Amino acid sequence: MYRSNTCGELRIADKGKKVTLAGWVQKARSLGSMTFVDLRDRYGITQLVFEGDPGLGREYVIQVTGEVLERESKNPKMPTGDIEIKVESLNILNKAQTPPFTIEENSDGGEDIRAKYRYLDLRRAPLQRALALRHRLAQEVRTYLDKQGFMEIETPYLIKSTPEGARDFVVPSRMNPGQFYALPQSPQTFKQLLMVAGYDRYFQIVRCFRDEDLRADRQPEFTQIDCEMSFVEQEDVLNMFEGMMRQMFKNAVGVDIPDPLPRMSWYDAMDNYGSDKPDIRFGMKFHEISDLVKGCGFSVFDGSEYIGAITAEGCAEYTRKQLDELTEWVKRPQVGAKGLVYIKVNADGTIKSSIDKFYTPEQLQKVAEACEAKAGDLIFVLCGPKRKTQTQLGVLRIEMGNRLGLRDPKVFAPLWIVDFPLLEWSEEDGRFYAMHHPFTAPKPEHEKWFYSDKKEDLERVCANAYDFVLNGTELGGGSIRIHNADMQSRMFEVLGISKEDAEYKFGFIINAFKFGAPPHGGLAFGFDRVCALFGGQETIRDYIAFPKNNQGRDVMIDSPSLIDQVQMDELFLESKVKA
């Protein structure tokens, strides 16, 4: 027996017991006649007391036997802080080189070195807590869905390349020279084929692969909770997965989320928050003031389609310097505004603004009222094309939320965004793209527009598509699908995909729909991000055991890497990059 107890287990009630522990030496403090050692495993830390100096280095793996004693100076911060082990025998199971960084709650190691020695970083408590939370959440998903009659079914990783949206990762086929598999961006078409096959409640906690640029905390491989149901309407899907989220919140982090969850249409989200993933932990909703400020001779406003404002509470004391800095901030390419107009409602009720020249105090007072600004508040105004300006104002709103401390990661404000437009016009490419994906169905009552050839009609079509949003992050999304071959073909036509191309890439699913496809719908949650947000963190990397860096590299195993010429030859490949 290697151990009788773990390092997180013993308490004062165990006083006097003879125990055997095994673990890693986190710290050794020698006082000459005796040495204190913190022994660590994933359950906690227990203090050991040695007579003399046993000569243990950090991260040595040891086994000790001894008696549980009551400590003289207790440590109330540690669960085992009332006791220590008086070591009678020591067995060094393995020595360790001095680790390149401290393996404690907070490490002194930089990100790169910790990534290189990920297995050492994973010994640290914060990462162990993160992976434990991930495990807990995965178990909650499985127990909930199992109870609801869902079957967990695996779908292939080597599939066909059908890039639409993100870029595919591809894998050369040795047995089929010159041909390639693609790794799935999601199991979308397979889960729909499972519906055709009659498996009416499917789920899978599954890896997905997208060859995207990795800014904004993305990983080239990530995990989805992927789900699909047959014979359902949007309402059924939302209720089912709201229930799942409710159980996850309750059992994994002890939080009760509202029942039912709030819902907001995509249009309201854009008009009020300038984002399809609004953070509703705080207000600062938009006020459209076009009618109040247009036609007064201020040409910038007069020439704008949309003029919108947000009110930052208690910010009237912002200095010239702060306002200039914010103006520069909104002009950065990441935001892209042309400028920033402000209106201050001073503590004494008077108004001071950057557009005083063009408006009377009474006119500005009206604007302040429309923006629900009180004495001491500051109004920011942006103008330009409607959706673009709303998006910019949305970015500014989030920034102000951050600056004013309104985005507490311990507060959870989930909601559903519903009624997305089906299609999105790209000026650049002169074509429509599917807002969700090409398998999403138009709302039945909008089908008449879906079959129209007019751009304005197609732009009006909405889908029963929905996103689960938490604290300004989209955690998941899905839709009611097309289950009819003709409608699916029409979709590809609307997306400007030729009949031949649609047949080549998606013939299998169009064909399947000719053999009795049931009505169906589903969704997928981004599991890594679910874990991070539940853990109150912004970044997903801590919740993935072996993540990749911003360049898509695993610096621990040093991948990607070159392969042998022999392997290249077997795969009929030639590299344009010379080694």
User: Smallest distance from the beta carbon of 280 to ligand ASP, in angstroms?
Assistant: 22
Contacts of 362 (CB under 8 A, 6+ apart): none
The answer to the question of residue 479 lying near ligand ASP (CB under 6 A) is yes
- 535 is an interface residue for ligand ASP by CB under 6 A: no
| Residue selected from 316, 524, 532, 540 as contacting ligand ASP according to rule CB under 6 A | 524
Residue 321's identity, in one-letter code, is K
- Write down the least CB distance from residue 139 to ligand ASP, Å: 22
In angstroms, what CA-CA distances link 94 with 57, 197, 238? Answer: 11, 54, 53
x/- string (CB under 6 A) for ligand ASP, residues 53-72? --------------------
In the complex, the smallest distance separating the C-beta of residue 292 from ligand ASP, rounded to whole angstroms, is 40
For ligand ASP, what does the binding mask look like between residues 434 and 453, x meaning CB under 6 A? ---x----------------
Size of residue set near ligand ASP by CB under 6 A: 9
Closest contact distance (angstroms) between CB of 524 and ligand ASP is 4
Give the contacts of 542 (CB within 8 A, at least 6 positions apart).
126, 127, 130, 532, 535
Alpha-carbon distance of 171 to 181, in angstroms, equals: 5
* Binding of ligand ASP by 244 (CB under 6 A): no
Q: Does 522 bind ligand ASP (CB under 6 A)?
A: yes
| Residue from 109, 472, 477, 547 in contact with ligand ASP (CB under 6 A) | 477
- Where on the phi/psi map is residue 39: left (φ > 0), alpha (ψ -120 to 50), or beta? beta
Long-range (24+ apart) CB contacts under 8 A made by 123-126 are 123/24, 123/40, 126/542
Quick one: 154 or 427, whose CB is closer to ligand ASP? Answer: 154
* Block residue for tokens 């710290």: 27
Query: Burial code of 77-113, b = ≥16 C-beta within 10 A, e = fewer?
Result: ebebbbbbbebeebeeeeeeeebeeebbeebebeeeb
Q: Report the candidate in 3, 457, 567, 525 with the shortest Cα–Cα distance to residue 241.
A: 525
Closest CA to 529 of 358, 364, 414: 414
Q: Which residue type, as a one-letter code, is found at position 312?
A: A
Contact residue for ligand ASP among 274, 401, 421, 478 (CB under 6 A) = 478
**3-state class of 259 per DSSP?**
coil
Between 502 and 523, name the residue whose CB sits nearer to ligand ASP: 523
The least distance separating ligand ASP from the CB of residue 224, rounded to whole angstroms, comes to 6
Query: What are the tokens at 101?
Result: 């960084």
Long-range contact list for 296-302, CB < 8 A, 24+ apart?
Answer: 296/358, 296/359, 296/363, 297/358, 298/355, 298/358, 298/359, 300/339, 300/383, 301/383
User: Using the rule CB under 6 A, is 308 a contact of ligand ASP?
Assistant: no
Determine the residue with CB nearest ligand ASP: 186
The only residue of 47, 188, 230, 311 in contact with ligand ASP, by rule CB under 6 A: 188
Q: Which CB, 99 or 521, lies closer to ligand ASP? A: 521
The single residue among 46, 80, 162, 186 that binds ligand ASP, judged by CB under 6 A, is 186
Q: Which stretch binds ligand ASP (CB under 6 A): 13-21, 167-175, 354-362, 517-525?
A: 517-525
Q: Which stretch binds ligand ASP (CB under 6 A): 85-93, 231-239, 270-278, 476-484?
A: 476-484
Phi and psi angles of residue 239, each rounded to the nearest 5 degrees, phi first: -65, -45
Choose between 378 and 524: whose C-beta lies nearer to ligand ASP: 524
- Applying CB under 6 A, the residues found at the interface with ligand ASP are 186, 188, 437, 477-479, 522-524
